[in-house]
């Protein structure tokens, strides 16, 4: 929940020149709903994809305050983040709700970034893999992997300054990959991102891991120069 329309425009106008020559990674911005229209106009014909931070699981109706996938498509979005830990924590989104959202988003032609990850208490109790299994099973029930990216975001590393070590990140990503191979077709083509206090200083270390395919960036994406450094640092050497 950052940036007004004017601040979003200022960000994009500063950011685009910094990444205009980048072709080795996909770049995606997910501003708040109120800024999507302005962002869509500025990102048109650029190398940056427009996404939304969440979506509702119905296409229209009496759901005051919600935003449908049809609305997101009409404003220029081609992707949406679903199941972010903050949505699960503060808005009580269950795996079933996440599943319904993914189905409606995919039905309406939106690619999806599905977020999964454990809390500090769950990690300390050695339940990381149990949590990932539960979230993946529920969130991806009766769904193919088409148009889906998985983002592993350990809740204990979001906005805390704590970052999973590159080994911890790769271990979780490896489990996710193995789960996908066991339960779905096309698992090897799925991109698995890491999210959790990603910065310009640690992105190259994280991206050096074989199963880390990208980054879901939070606070460090709020400044154009910082995010641009992450984009270039994310290029696999």
Residue among 84, 93, 118, 173 flagged as catalytic: 84
Max Cα separation, the chain?
50
Burial 191-227 (b: 16+ CB within 10 A, else e): ebbbbbbbbbebbbebbebebbbbbbbbebbeebebb
Integer CA distances (angstroms), 57 to 81, 82, 118, 144, in order: 13, 11, 24, 17
Cα–Cα distance for residue pair 44/22, rounded to 1 Å: 16
Report the b/e string of 42-79 with b at 16+ CB within 10 A: bbeeeebbbbbbbbbbeeeeeeeeebbbbbbbebebeb
Query: In the block, which residue shows the tokens 């310009």?
Result: 200
Which residue has tokens 């992105």? 203
Give the pLDDT of residue 39: 98
- Going by C-alpha positions, the residue among 194, 192, 191, 190 that lies closest to residue 218 is 194
Q: What is the DSSP letter of 189?
A: G
Q: Is 185 a catalytic residue?
A: no
DSSP, collapsed to helix, strand or coil, labels residue 196 as coil
How far apart are alpha carbons 148 and 73 in whole angstroms?
17
DSSP SS3 for 193: strand
Residue reference for tokens 């090897």: 188
Residue 153: active-site member: yes
- pLDDT on residue 54: 98
State the DSSP code for 33. Answer: G
Q: What is the pLDDT of residue 160?
A: 76
Per-residue pLDDT in tens (0 to 9) along the chain, 237 residues: 999 999 999 999 999 999 999 999 999 999 999 999 999 999 999 999 999 999 999 999 999 999 999 999 999 999 999 999 999 999 999 999 999 999 999 999 999 999 999 998 999 899 999 999 999 999 999 999 999 999 999 998 877 777 789 999 999 999 999 999 999 999 999 999 999 889 999 999 999 999 999 999 999 999 999 999 999 999 865
| Domains of the chain (ranges, CATH numbers) | 5-233 (3.20.20.70)
- Selecting among 121, 153, 185, 204, the annotated active-site residue is 153
């Amino acid at each position: 929940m950052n940036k007004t329309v004017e601040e979003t425009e200022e960000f994009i106008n500063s950011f685009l020149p910094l990444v205009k020559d980048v072709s080795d990674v996909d770049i995606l911005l997910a501003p708040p709903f109120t800024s999507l229209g302005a962002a869509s106009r500025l990102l048109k014909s650029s190398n940056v994809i427009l996404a939304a931070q969440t979506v509702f699981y119905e296409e229209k109706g009496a759901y005051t305050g919600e935003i449908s996938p049809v609305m997101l498509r009409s404003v220029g979005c081609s992707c949406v983040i679903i199941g972010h830990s903050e949505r699960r924590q503060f808005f009580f989104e269950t795996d079933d709700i996440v599943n319904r959202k993914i189905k409606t988003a995919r039905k309406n032609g939106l690619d999806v970034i599905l977020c999964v990850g454990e809390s500090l208490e769950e990690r300390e109790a050695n339940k990381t893999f149990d949590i990932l299994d539960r979230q993946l099973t529920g969130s991806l029930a009766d769904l193919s992997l088409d148009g889906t990216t998985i983002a592993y975001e350990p809740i204990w590393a979001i906005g805390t300054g704590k970052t999973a070590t590159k080994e911890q990140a790769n271990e979780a990503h490896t489990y996710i990959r193995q789960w996908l191979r066991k339960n779905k077709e096309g698992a090897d083509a799925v991109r698995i991102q890491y999210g959790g206090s990603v910065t310009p200083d640690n992105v190259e270390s994280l991206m050096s891991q074989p199963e880390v395919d990208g980054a879901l960036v939070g606070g460090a994406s709020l400044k154009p120069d910082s995010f641009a450094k992450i984009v270039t640092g994310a290029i696999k050497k």
